[in-house]
Amino acid sequence: MNQSNCMVAQSGGPTAAINASLAGVISGIKKSGKYDTCYGAINGILGILNERYLNLSQMIPDEKNLNRLKVTPAMYLGSCRHKLPDYKDDDSAYVFIFNQFAKLNIKAFFYIGGNDSMDTVLKLSDYAAKIKSDIRIIGVPKTIDNDLCMIDHTPGFGSAAKYIASTMLEIAHDTFIYAVKSVTIVEIMGRDAGWLTAASALARNDYNTAPHFIYLPEVAFDKEQFLTDIRNKLKTLNNVIVAVSEGIRDKNGDYITASKAVADQFGHQQLSGAGKALEFLVKENIGVKVRSIEINVLQRCASHLASATDQSEAFALGEHAVLLAEEGVTASMVTLTRTSNTPYAVAYDHAPIRGIANEAKSIPREWINAHGNDIRQELYNYLYPLIQGEVSLTYQNGVPVYMPVPHLKPDHVS
Amino acid sequence: MNQSNCMVAQSGGPTAAINASLAGVISGIKKSGKYDTCYGAINGILGILNERYLNLSQMIPDEKNLNRLKVTPAMYLGSCRHKLPDYKDDDSAYVFIFNQFAKLNIKAFFYIGGNDSMDTVLKLSDYAAKIKSDIRIIGVPKTIDNDLCMIDHTPGFGSAAKYIASTMLEIAHDTFIYAVKSVTIVEIMGRDAGWLTAASALARNDYNTAPHFIYLPEVAFDKEQFLTDIRNKLKTLNNVIVAVSEGIRDKNGDYITASKAVADQFGHQQLSGAGKALEFLVKENIGVKVRSIEINVLQRCASHLASATDQSEAFALGEHAVLLAEEGVTASMVTLTRTSNTPYAVAYDHAPIRGIANEAKSIPREWINAHGNDIRQELYNYLYPLIQGEVSLTYQNGVPVYMPVPHLKPDHVS
């Protein structure tokens, strides 16, 4: 038996496009013809440690399955948030993993994920170099947060941005119906970077100016300035809509949350987010009708409103990762570069994993206005191409048709 | 000048289909050829009291505009929550309104709304009878809550139900990715009736059994029973997903909320909903990973995922209201009856407004299982046809194209 196989896994938080990258890897492997079997490790790197694999060559046998996988939200293979130790401290996991690779004749390992997952790619690459393994280890980027370095933007971001922009427009329609003054706070994901919150600006059109303010983690949040912004806007507009990142902080770096000493009727305590905190600020200090809306996980799993641009790039990155492995590249992440903005075009490339893992990319300050309460045209221009194009979905019984996920099956107990 | 005009207005909370009914009224008026101008009162009945009208015959001149209006969420004409006094106590508003009708040669008035709006239709009808006015007054139903009487289901409900079912399926995909036990609580609108929460069951398919429990306002909520449900389910399933109505109450009729003595870092108090309350219950008593998701206003304004069935029925009801007025019907609400479930078919009719205003329709207890934690097949069968069919939307710049709403315009100050 002289098989040549490969393995793929997914890790971190879900996106609407992460399965498109998985489909891209599977497609790339089929095209290459150099691998006998493509294994999927279940729940990321944990799947290897627990010897839990799927035979993807059998499970996704044809184009129809591949296309369905492409539009399915979250991780077909499941995910994990598992940090490998430094192999210098404890190499037992590494020994086990590379033994598994040897046992299954794995020649290439593709890990689809965000910052933390790229840390795993880095550590596996370092260990592979140490033991002089020739297994190709390639990271395939994804994160709705768009905060990975060395890449123009991350797969998953465009779909989340499209959902946020469309939802913001719909919230604007929903908000402006009453002839009473009101403030609506929309809390959007993004703990350290404001890319997703900035994307709410894409809801603006020739009749809609909402969101009227955008507050980002990149700018220290000033409570008094916020209240002044709102008070001034209410002078000329009945209904003010605010987009705010969950990750806004004050000038001391403390998160703005409505968190302290919160107890309910059962005597429990809770943590609430930036949206609630701003809601209270308006309620207590301005006194108009106010509500907050947390878009929550819907922004990362609403594949029914995925960006076709995002999905096709995620797929292409998966395919390109396989090409790289064939060319002998390892210890790298597949990347994309924007070669032109109008017309929008990208090129696929790769970068050493060392400069990517554990780094994060924020919005450049010069792409945010001086007051720190809105974005500049440069950022709008950057964001705009990423949400273009609608994906073609099939509906059955009134809901979207996605790929049946193994761990969702009724008989699945893990 | 011997004009014959009519007027239409919208009231209450938004839905994804309420503008389809407005489009139906406008279309019906065009087809009838009996009216010169169709006026739209801005912000419901308040528009008449404040003499603020749009000339809809000019603003929606053609089929293209009508089709765009049909898919636009919330109220094109704005809304209000204004309760008219009993005319026997104070008839000044009535005198003013009917003077306005006379001045504008209004022969028919169509009011699109839910329970409260039908109260306005009833009161105007009673006053019209008293002064022997021959102005036809017709209510056109809408409410995502599906709690109007004398109608099989309400326009707006099917679209919200489709959004909830699709979103629940996407949340299931998002939830099942980690190999750790978790509970996800999804809070859905519905203060007094559980129809919307029940619709989450439409997310179930051959691989997805979520939501695993459904708690409705129709059944007294028992904290211990809930915890037992969750504990038992976690024995056979890693990730349990719960759908809960915002309106669940205990056996004393008190709302289940996480509300008491809640203070944040700014010293404010807050009210939180049933979802947060259940989240705390699980956190304190079971101790697994738990999160709550409030679908919030998205369920009522997400026109990008409207039900084609819902939209076409809402439109047909608007057209039928005009027909009724022509036939001399007044003091009524246009209704629909389900004449067959397989294949699904409806007939349009009308019912006296007196039996509808201020009444509410709950889910029959026999459509809920004995334990009160799930729905029965009968309810599934009732719900299923209402979310069928996808609406055709145009996208521009990556977001849906809706009808520019007058009060959303940048230069609009009301």
Give the integer Cα–Cα distance in Å for B398 and B391: 17
CATH architecture of B157-301: 3-Layer(aba) Sandwich (3.40)
Contact A266 B259 (CB under 8 A): no
Q: Where are the domains of chain B?
A: 5-156+305-358+391-405, 157-301
Q: Which residue of B has its CA nearest to A258?
A: B264
Domain A159-301 has CATH 3.50.7.10: no
Give the integer Cα–Cα distance in Å for B149 and B357: 8
* B143 is annotated as contributing to ligand binding: yes
- CA separation (Å) from B377 to A287, B50, B386? 47, 49, 15
Domains B5-156+305-358+391-405 and B157-301 belong to one CATH topology: yes
Contact A167 B298 (CB under 8 A): yes
Chain B residues whose beta carbon lies within 8 Å of the beta carbon of residue A283: 268
Identify how many contiguous H helices and E strands chain B contains and give both numbers: 13, 13
ipTM score here?
A: 0.95
Mean pLDDT for each 10-residue chunk of chain B (414 residues)? 88 96 96 94 96 92 93 96 94 98 98 94 97 98 95 98 98 92 96 96 95 98 97 95 96 81 41 85 94 94 97 98 97 97 97 87 97 98 98 94 80 46
Substitution target from A144, A170, A202, A295 for chain B, most B beta carbons within 10 A: A170
Chain B residues whose beta carbon lies within 8 Å of the beta carbon of residue A69: none
Q: Which of A254, A255, A231 shows the shortest CA–CA distance to A242?
A: A231
* A143 is annotated as contributing to ligand binding: yes
Q: Which residue of B has its CA nearest to A235?
A: B413
Element (H, E) at A54: strand A53-55
Output the six-digit token pair for B377: 């097949």
Output the six-digit token pair for A36: 């006998």
CB B176 within 8 A of CB B164: no
Separation of CA B61 from chain center: 27
CB A242 within 8 A of CB A211: yes
Residues 6+ apart with CB under 8 A from A71: A19, A20, A303, A306, A311, A391, A392, A393, A400, A402
pLDDT at B2: 63
A15-64 pLDDT, tens digit per residue, is 999 999 999 999 999 999 899 999 999 999 999 999 999 999 998 889 99
Q: Which of B369, B372, B357, B381 shows the shortest CA–CA distance to B217?
A: B372
- CA separation (Å) from B9 to A173, A207, A393, B29? 16, 22, 36, 14
Q: What is the CA radius of gyration of chain B?
A: 23
Strands B344-352 and B332-341 come out as: antiparallel
Touching A: B residues 289-328, CB under 8 Å: 293-298, 300-305, 307
User: In B176-222, which ranges are continuous DSSP H helix?
Assistant: 195-198
Give every residue of chain A whose pLDDT is below 50, as ranges: 260-271, 412-414
Chain B residues whose beta carbon lies within 8 Å of the beta carbon of residue A202: 397-399
Contact A399 B165 (CB under 8 A): yes
Which residue type occupies B213?
F
CATH number among 1.10.1740.10, 3.10.105.10, 3.30.565.10, 3.40.50.450, domain A5-156+305-359+391-404: 3.40.50.450
Chain A with chain B: Cβ pairs closer than 8 A:
267
A91 is catalytic: no
Strands (E), B145-301: 182-188, 213-215, 239-245, 289-294
A223-236 vs A274-285: helix axis angle to the nearest 10? Answer: 60
Output the six-digit token pair for B259: 């509300």
Element (H, E) at A61: none
Q: What is the CA radius of gyration of chain A?
A: 23
Q: Which residue of B has its CA nearest to A207?
A: B409
Q: Which of A270, A283, A300, A268 shows the shortest CA–CA distance to A73?
A: A300
CATH architecture of B5-156+305-358+391-405: 3-Layer(aba) Sandwich (3.40)
Separation of CA A354 from chain center: 21
Give the integer Cα–Cα distance in Å for A307 and A171: 20
**Partner residue opposite A170 with nearest CB, options B171, B268, B301:** B301
**Partner residue opposite B284 with nearest CB, options A262, A268, A384:** A268
